[in-house]
């Protein structure tokens, strides 16, 4: 599997969900959550793409074309994955949108983890479990931080 795609999708899910959960817990504002998603989709996708680009250059194991392929696929995967979380937020009330987004994000992590496990010939449940635990840890921590920050300004 292309490193740019797997990295971009994973980062898109984890970063966007973390941001959404934290902003929702701290503000309960749909406008703030939408603004956060769009910001992540642009700024963090570009940042991750540049990070992959520089990392691939530093490894010095790939052609210029391969480096740019990883850069572009990272950007597109992260950008589109992050933007996909806008759909439930725009269509549903914020509480329901967060639950749908959480389900969508964990589903993407499960499918991606399964594909990675299959490609590596290892037990899928171990890879899926490991990745879900890490993703859920991010969700819990960002929820707690969001509630804490929200209480500071209430």
Enter the pTM of the model: 0.91
- Cα(26)–Cα(139) distance, integer angstroms: 13
Domain extents in the chain:
3-152
- pLDDT digit string (tens) for the chain, length 154 residues: 677 788 899 999 999 999 999 999 999 999 999 999 999 999 999 999 999 999 989 988 778 898 899 899 999 999 999 999 999 999 999 999 999 999 999 999 999 999 999 999 999 999 999 999 999 999 999 999 999 999 998 7
- Cα(43)–Cα(49) distance, integer angstroms: 10
pLDDT the model gives residue 154: 75
User: 136, 109 in Cβ contact below 8 A?
Assistant: no
- Cα(120)–Cα(51) distance, integer angstroms: 25
User: Looking up tokens 């960002």, which residue turns up?
Assistant: 142
User: 85, 105 in Cβ contact below 8 A?
Assistant: yes
pLDDT the model gives residue 1: 66
* Cα–Cα–Cα angle for 74, 15, 9, rounded to 5 degrees: 35
């Amino acid at each position: 599997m292309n490193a740019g795609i797997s990295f971009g999708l994973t980062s898109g899910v984890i970063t966007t969900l973390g941001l959404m959960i934290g902003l929702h817990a701290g503000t309960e504002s749909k406008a703030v959550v939408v603004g956060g998603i769009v910001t992540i989709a642009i700024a963090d996708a570009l940042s991750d793409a540049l990070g992959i680009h520089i990392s691939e250059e530093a490894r010095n194991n790939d052609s210029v074309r391969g480096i740019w392929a990883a850069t572009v696929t990272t950007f597109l995967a992260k950008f589109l994955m992050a933007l996909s979380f806008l759909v439930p937020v725009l269509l549903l009330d914020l509480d329901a949108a967060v639950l749908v987004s959480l389900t969508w994000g964990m589903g993407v992590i499960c499918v991606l983890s399964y594909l990675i496990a299959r490609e590596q010939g290892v037990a899928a449940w171990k890879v899926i479990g490991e990745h879900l635990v890490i993703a859920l840890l991010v969700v819990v921590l960002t929820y707690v931080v969001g509630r804490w920050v929200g209480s500071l300004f209430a």
